[in-house]
Structure 1
């Protein structure tokens, strides 16, 4: 195991990978690439690598994670807090436990905050509250995806939703909104403060054009500086061309940004 994966000072970012970055690769290969890039943690996605209804696959993924010296930091579910989803959430929580994940990433509905009627918002809130209760019974945290076309598409709506759910084990992820200037995006991250559990790290500009992380290194250095004194997972996601050979380069850029952030 390389030295930068052995020790993690308190209150610093743990660097990792979202497995959805390499959906086409087997889980064991994803874990190997993450380890070879010197990353410490991994978020396993429920869509391909870690389906909730396949316990044997979940155990195999956990074994691969541990064999490569990684820690599973979260389970990337596609729970949308709907009436159809909630009955299946106990299986999602059990899957997270099988993976050894302390956190489940969830989605706050399927429509944007401005387009969601009050009754629909209350329904999504109620289903998130129930999911948080189930997660708590398993000793798990929830965190919402910070994403367009959901109730966490803006900082204001995200904070309102977290307050409305009022669950101690619910926080949010953060990522820079598409086409948002750095200063505006970072102001949102600062406003979310301790409500942030993890960062999805990528370099898109303009729109969803994928660029090397170095092209937005200043954004990520400043974002990581804002997280100083807080435990945060910084997870690489959607590298250029979905190419695993660029992962070491992207991980090195993220490490440099983290190191620079610590000096600020």
Structure 2
């Protein structure tokens, strides 16, 4: 089943109530809530409040965007605190980042440490029936499709999947090739349209996204794959 939604971090200056209202008006399924602004780790009262408001609005919590960096020495919040907040929020998955170094910079020891930490947190999350999903992002071990594929294969855990988003600075054809490499491991897709660092209206990227969605095969109503929409204003 395909589900559509927004990432609340895109609207970091907006209130929880406003984001819920806009999501409902857009006839979307739900929201991924950001840990750095709307539902901070350890804030049980806020997590439970947002969960209640989502239920009242008939919306789903699609994920908890934690920004936890695997094996980082200064994560700010322990994964255990993040996991407890995600549970109170009713999130089925937690979005994390694969370390603090890109694939070219990272040593083999760095990769092993990131892999081990994600295996650790995947076990913790699985015990709470919550999945761990790794964002496809520059400056981490998912900065290329090949590195992302290797990472997930090294982790080798059924509770770990990938996000995908268009890598900045490459052509549409190269992004399509990336999709083919990581597709077996995907669970979420971040949808936006940028040209280099310029954030453009999503409507301007319809042609590119038609190609991405074609290769993602997200048209199958029986495919259990969710994707969240990150709307970036121009």
Q: TM-score range by the shorter chain?
A: over 0.9
Return the alpha-carbon distance in structure 1 between the equivalents of residues 76 and 140 of structure 2: 17
Displacement of 1:223: 2.0
- The 5 Å alignment of 1:238-257 reads 238-241=231-234
Q: Does structure 1 residue 19 correspond to structure 2 residue 12?
A: no
Contact 2:149–2:181, Cα closer than 8 Å, also in 1: no
Given candidates 219, 231, 237, the residue that maps to 2:224 is 231
Aligned to 1:20, the other structure's residue is in SS state helix
Return the alpha-carbon distance in structure 1 between the equivalents of residues 34 and 126 of structure 2: 20
Return the alpha-carbon distance in structure 2 between the equivalents of residues 238 and 15 of structure 1: 12
Contact 2:39–2:47, Cα closer than 8 Å, also in 1: yes
Aligned to 1:115, the other structure's residue is in SS state coil
Displacement of 1:19: 0.3
Return the alpha-carbon distance in structure 2 between the equivalents of residues 204 and 46 of structure 1: 24
Structure 2 partner of 1:214: 203
Aligned to 1:178, the other structure's residue is in SS state coil
- The 5 Å alignment of 1:159-178 reads 159-178=149-168
Deviations 1:215-243 (A, max 9, x none): 111222222222334333232214215xx
Return the alpha-carbon distance in structure 2 between the equivalents of residues 83 and 22 of structure 1: 26
TM-score (norm 2): 0.93
Structure 1 unmatched ranges of 5 or more: 1-10, 242-264
The CA RMSD over aligned residues, in Å, is 1.6
Structure 1 partner of 2:84: 94
Structure 2 partner of 1:192: 182
Aligned to 1:29, the other structure's residue is in SS state helix
- The 5 Å alignment of 1:1-264 reads 11=1, 13-82=2-71, 84=73, 85=75, 88-205=78-195, 207-225=196-214, 226-228=216-218, 229=220, 230-241=223-234
Displacement of 1:25: 1.1
Q: Is the helix fraction higher in 1 or 2?
A: 1
Return the alpha-carbon distance in structure 2 between the equivalents of residues 24 and 83 of structure 1: 27
Work out the number of aligned pairs and report it.
Answer: 229
Q: Is the strand fraction higher in 1 or 2?
A: 2
Contact 1:86–1:131, Cα closer than 8 Å, also in 2: no
Give the 4+ runs in structure 1 shifted more than 6 A.
none
Aligned to 2:123, the other structure's residue is in SS state helix
Return the alpha-carbon distance in structure 2 between the equivalents of residues 33 and 169 of structure 1: 31
Displacement of 1:194: 2.5
Residues 33, 87 of structure 1: CA spacing in aligned structure 2 closer, same or farther, 3 A cutoff? closer
Structure 2 unmatched ranges of 5 or more: none
Aligned to 1:215, the other structure's residue is in SS state helix
TM-score (norm 1): 0.83
